[in-house]
């Protein structure tokens, strides 16, 4: 990334908007490029009067939406076929078809937030989320709405910060990069905690299910014993014993 950025900055100074659109589009498709730093630099150039901030916002937003939509449809066309094959194939034994079905249901319920936050908060996951949304057959209309809302922030935030801080845009880029790593670490910890709690709950439920037949058998034995001949005499005599 450090080798690519100087080249992109030189091209940005020479060609302007087309380089912004092309770089952002390629990054949104899934090829990693330092687009956050590029947009910060573009915002700084706008503050110096070389580019227009509104024009940069519209160019970057359109490139983001086009690239993310492209990777979504790649996942929908080819990724969904792979998941369907894994779900129905009898040759693959290490993937449970029920697991794939549950993942689709879960993504349809919660995937919107993953799409939204991966547009600006943890943008490194953006390409993977796009492919996953397509492969899971997430409705494109909902994908587009979450995508648009997230990318408005994802485009506007670095441009405005670069415009405000101008010559200090590299420092802002370092802060944003560190913040993204910190947020990513928190997400990983929360996810692992969720998995641990889910596993503990399933283990307790499984233990209860294993103990249920034994408890029922003990109850049946005690009921049957209470109906044996002489059990009434034993019970009444035991109740009349002095305390």
Q: Which of 45-49, 89-93, 204-208, 212-216 has the highest mean pLDDT?
A: 45-49
Cα torsion 108, 109, 110, 115: sign: positive
DSSP state of 168: G
CA distances from 130 to 3, 78, 106, 227 (A): 27, 13, 16, 67
State how many domains the chain has. 1
Measured distance CA(77)–CA(73) in Å, rounded: 6
Whether 9 maps to a domain, the answer reads: yes
CA distances from 231 to 190, 217, 240, 241 (A): 58, 19, 14, 16
pLDDT of residue 241: 47
Residue 27 tokens read as 């990054």
Range in 13-17, 157-161, 205-209 with the lowest mean pLDDT:
205-209
Whether 16 maps to a domain, the answer reads: yes
pLDDT of residue 131: 87
pLDDT of residue 95: 60
pTM for this prediction: 0.69
Evaluate whether 75 touches 134 at the Cβ level (below 8 Å). yes
pLDDT of residue 42: 93
Measured distance CA(56)–CA(47) in Å, rounded: 12
Evaluate whether 8 touches 33 at the Cβ level (below 8 Å). yes
Average pLDDT (31-52) is: 90
Between 99 and 242, the higher pLDDT residue: 99
**What does R_g of the chain's alpha carbons equal in angstroms?**
30
How long a stretch of residues is the chain? Answer: 243
pLDDT tens column, 164-207: 988 888 787 777 666 665 555 565 666 566 557 766 777 777 76
Domain that holds residue 155: 4-169
Measured distance CA(210)–CA(198) in Å, rounded: 18
Measured distance CA(137)–CA(72) in Å, rounded: 9
Q: Which of 194, 199, 77, 60 is nearest to 134 (CA)?
A: 77
Confidence of residue 119 (pLDDT cuts 50, 70, 90): confident
pLDDT tens column, 57-94: 999 999 999 999 999 999 888 887 777 666 666 555 55
Whether 127 maps to a domain, the answer reads: yes
């Amino acid at each position: 990334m450090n080798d690519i950025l100087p080249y992109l900055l030189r091209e940005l100074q020479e060609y302007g908007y087309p380089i912004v659109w092309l770089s952002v589009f390629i990054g949104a498709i899934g090829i990693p490029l330092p687009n956050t730093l590029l947009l910060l630099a573009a915002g700084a150039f706008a503050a110096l009067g070389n580019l227009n901030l509104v024009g940069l916002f519209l160019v970057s937003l359109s490139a983001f939406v086009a690239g993310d939509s492209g990777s979504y449809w790649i996942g929908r066309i080819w990724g969904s076929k792979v998941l369907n094959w894994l779900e129905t194939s009898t040759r693959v034994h290490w993937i449970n078809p029920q697991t794939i079905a549950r993942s689709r249901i879960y993504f349809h319920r919660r995937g919107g937030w993953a799409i939204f936050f991966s547009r600006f908060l943890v943008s490194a996951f953006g390409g993977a989320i796009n492919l996953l949304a397509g492969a899971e057959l997430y409705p494109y209309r909902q994908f587009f709405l979450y995508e648009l809302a997230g990318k408005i922030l994802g485009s506007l935030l670095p441009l405005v910060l670069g415009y405000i801080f101008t010559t200090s845009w590299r420092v802002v880029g370092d802060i944003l990069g560190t913040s993204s790593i910190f947020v990513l670490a928190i997400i990983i910890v929360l996810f692992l905690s969720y998995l641990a709690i889910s596993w503990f709950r399933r283990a307790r439920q499984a233990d209860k299910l294993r103990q249920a037949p034994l408890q029922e058998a003990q109850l049946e034995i005690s009921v049957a014993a209470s109906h044996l001949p002489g059990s009434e005499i034993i019970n009444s005599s035991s109740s009349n014993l002095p305390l």
